[in-house]
Amino acid sequence: MIKRRCLLQTARSLNCRKETLRYVFARRYYSVDPPTISSRGKKLRPEKPNIVILDPKQIGHSSKHPHPHHNRGQQNSILEGFDFEFNSISEPLLFSKKASKNVSHPQEDHQDLIQRETEKLLNFETKLNEHQFLESIESFKPVSKVNDATHLLIDTNTYNDLKSNLSDSFTWKQLYSYIKFKSNLKSKLQHMVKIDLINKIFFEIWNCKISESSDNQSVTSPTSSDLVTLRIKLSERGAKLLILTDNGKILKNLTRLKQKVKNNMKNSNLSIELNLSQYELLITSNESISKFIEISINNILKNIIVTNWDFPSIKIENFEKCLDLITKICAVDIDLEKNEIAAFGMKRIQLATRLVNWVISNDTLNKMERLEDWSSKNDRKWFPFNDVDSLNWFAKNETWGRLQTVIPINSSKKLIESLNMVSEDKIDRLYEFFTVANDDKYQSKLNFSKDSIFNNVSISLGTLIQNVSGEKHIFQSKLPQITSKLLDLPLYDKNIPTVDQLFSVDSHDYYLELSFAPPITDEFTSHLPPIKLWLELDEFNNTIPSSIQCFMHLLNKEALIQTSHLPHDYKITVDKISSLLPLTSVGNKSTLIDQHGIKVFIDKFRFLTIKNFKSTSQLNVNLVIDDKPINIDYNFITLNHYRILRLKYMDKYLLQFSENNGGKLGGRSAQIDFLLDAKNNEMSRKDFGIFVRDIFRF
């Protein structure tokens, strides 16, 4: 084995015979020294060694996949609104920032358009010559109606307004130039701050004096002109969308006009109030700004898009609560009486439709759940769950926490080990729960071959969190103090021949999971199981079409085991899954002979990142129902990116460490799953008991 060193060869070391190769990270320097020449004590000039610099690909040190965070530098604009997960389905995919400059968007966000047009209108000249800014400062001088013998009288409010406007509108150098222009004062000006220069202008150049009487009206300022209050009558839908869209960002952007015009207009007072009881917009400012805002508001309201609402009657528990949350997230107005949905732009309507299909997909999943509490209920306390980014859009609406057993540091009480909690009675209850047949009247009409149906048995580690009232609970993958245990496990794949490749090759596998919900055209299709497509990514982050897998989840059984005295909880899952794409005998690849709609979807699908991908909104699937082939259009819901590392536990179990990125809607999380290889899709009581005990020993 070649010995590697990271030392640079000095001039004297060239006299020694060496046949080793010098290795430096990301580059290798290969040099062969000449044979040793006797110098008899004389100092010879060192010969220039022949160095060949190889790139990472030539030395074989190329990563299987790019760095997962190589696109962190690309950030979205803050004005993109709620379409933060990915580009619209109808828009072209933007592969780079340079390409995005040359691509036109026919359905451009009207809010961005209004913002840019506003900035153009307010793009006043900033480079003023000396004469212009001197006249501008002079225009702030108070106007006297009745002159005092020696001074101009101004009240305290006028003085404070003028001082604030001068300080915000002009620089120190401009005020300094004005004083030099108006007087011969040059000494000590260099050591004054801006407020001292303003006071010198007031009291020495303008010869002003603050009046002691508060009702003195002898002097007025051009900046205290009369304000105009404009009332704009809005519709109920218009007022609602102005408030919901990005939490009122449209109105906030208009109030920022004060900052835009403060340095260029004499009166920069501006306030915008929305009266929701009477649906009125009150604008208080000078006449020009008020008129500009009125025109802007009218143009914005003209861009409201109203379409038909395709979900008039959905019988789902707590659907009204879900609809309120979707209305808030997507900034849409849904009128169930008229079956209409309205929003600023089609993107928000498409997002609302996706979220409704998300709720439908969770409801159509045939799911059974069992909660087991294997810990003592004494000395337990509810601790808040702070990893909000790992939750999906619906779970973020609740406040979650975990019940944990509180044990003092100096307590002599010992914790119960996880293996000691497992008993034969508990395993019997769990095995009976998983093996009881569950027939569904809708799924019984679906015709699948026996070879296409299989069961997945897994145990996951995570935390069981619940809301404050304890009525709801979800299993979330949050694993503290688990990384050290994973590093001690070997890789499941034994095809890595050398130790060098163990560190130079990325052993993770990268997948995309696309979820689809059934249509609700009739009672039968609305109860069809959801579908998921899986695609593998190559080392260049491109999809591999031959790796496609299409699964229909027929049944999902979960047993949630609460262990409050341990850092984590357990979830035992048995999934009954049917594969819609049979595998070929060559290369274990899928065939798309009977699923032309899936082939069309994959041909049009393009993926770059979790935020940049292009796909169609529907997936056409061929299903056999009552021995008749029927094509059904499933609706696209969401995309998840998985980074999976396969490890081996106890030399017989597959351990999958997965990092899931579902974007802003799906959340980001990491989970650990232990998989049981069920022979012939049958799980015996003995194998199940051994599997549970082995995993609880981890």
Average pLDDT, the chain: 76
Q: Does one domain contain both 376 and 314?
A: no
Q: For the chain, give the percent of residues with pLDDT over 70.
A: 69
643 pLDDT higher than 90: yes
User: Could you tell me if residue 470 is inside a domain?
Assistant: yes
User: Could you tell me if residue 440 is inside a domain?
Assistant: yes
Q: Which residues contact 654 (CB under 8 A, 6 or more apart)?
A: 492, 646, 647, 648, 674, 675, 677
| Per-residue pLDDT reduced to its tens digit, 160-214 | 878 888 888 788 888 888 888 888 766 667 778 888 888 888 888 888 888 765 4
First to last CA, the chain: 36
DSSP 420: G
Kindly report which listed range (133-137, 350-354, 402-406) carries the lowest average pLDDT score: 133-137
Beta bridge partners of 614: 606
Of residues 126 and 31, more confidence is placed in 126
Q: Does one domain contain both 216 and 355?
A: no
Query: Confidence class of residue 28 from pLDDT cuts 50, 70 and 90?
Result: very low
User: Could you tell me if residue 469 is inside a domain?
Assistant: yes
The segment with the largest mean pLDDT, out of 14-23, 60-69, 204-213, 528-537, is 528-537
| Per-residue pLDDT reduced to its tens digit, 208-234 | 888 765 444 444 444 444 577 888 899
Of 667, 13, 673, 138, the C-alpha closest to 387 is 667
Q: Which pLDDT score is estimated for 14? A: 36
**Pick from 59, 74, 97: which residue ends a domain?**
59
Query: Confidence class of residue 638 from pLDDT cuts 50, 70 and 90?
Result: very high
Parallel, antiparallel or unpaired: strands 543-562 and 569-579: antiparallel
**Pick from 317, 332, 363: which residue ends a domain?**
363
Q: Does one domain contain both 353 and 428?
A: no
Question: CA 78 from chain center: how many Å?
Answer: 13
What is the number of domains present in the chain? 4
Q: Which pLDDT score is estimated for 93? A: 36
**Structural domain harbouring 154:** 141-220
573 pLDDT higher than 90: yes
| C-beta of residue 277 within 8 angstroms of C-beta of residue 308 | no
Query: Confidence class of residue 38 from pLDDT cuts 50, 70 and 90?
Result: very low
The segment with the largest mean pLDDT, out of 47-51, 59-63, 424-428, 481-485, is 424-428
64 pLDDT higher than 70: no
427 pLDDT higher than 90: yes
375 pLDDT higher than 70: yes
| C-beta of residue 367 within 8 angstroms of C-beta of residue 558 | yes
User: Could you tell me if residue 106 is inside a domain?
Assistant: no
Distance CA 107, CA 509 (A): 37
Query: Confidence class of residue 88 from pLDDT cuts 50, 70 and 90?
Result: very low
Q: Which pLDDT score is estimated for 588? A: 52
Question: CA 253 from chain center: how many Å?
Answer: 23
DSSP 561: E
Q: Does one domain contain both 422 and 497?
A: yes
| Per-residue pLDDT reduced to its tens digit, 391-416 | 999 898 889 999 988 877 766 555 56
Q: Does one domain contain both 342 and 193?
A: no
239 pLDDT higher than 80: yes
Q: What are the C-alpha distances in Å from 694 to residues 126, 137, 675, 689?
A: 73, 82, 12, 9
Q: Which pLDDT score is estimated for 550? A: 92
Query: Confidence class of residue 584 from pLDDT cuts 50, 70 and 90?
Result: low
Predicted TM-score of the model (pTM): 0.67
Q: Does one domain contain both 353 and 377?
A: no
Distance CA 267, CA 224 (A): 7
Residue type, 464: L
Q: Which pLDDT score is estimated for 412? A: 59
Tabulate helix, strand, coil % of the chain (nearest 5): 30, 30, 40
**Pick from 40, 59, 78: which residue ends a domain?**
59
Q: Which pLDDT score is estimated for 632? A: 92
Q: Does one domain contain both 14 and 154?
A: no
User: Could you tell me if residue 152 is inside a domain?
Assistant: yes
Tokens of 539: 């080392």
Query: Confidence class of residue 114 from pLDDT cuts 50, 70 and 90?
Result: low
Q: Does one domain contain both 38 and 157?
A: no
User: Could you tell me if residue 298 is inside a domain?
Assistant: no
Q: Which pLDDT score is estimated for 458? A: 94
| Per-residue pLDDT reduced to its tens digit, 95-108 | 333 333 344 444 45
Q: Does one domain contain both 561 and 668?
A: yes
Q: Which pLDDT score is estimated for 44? A: 59
Q: Does one domain contain both 333 and 408?
A: no
Q: Does one domain contain both 48 and 189?
A: no
| Per-residue pLDDT reduced to its tens digit, 253-311 | 887 765 555 444 444 567 788 888 888 888 887 777 888 888 888 888 999 999 998 77
Q: Does one domain contain both 407 and 555?
A: yes
Q: Which pLDDT score is estimated for 271? A: 79
Average pLDDT over residues 658-664: 91
User: Could you tell me if residue 426 is inside a domain?
Assistant: yes
User: Could you tell me if residue 352 is inside a domain?
Assistant: yes
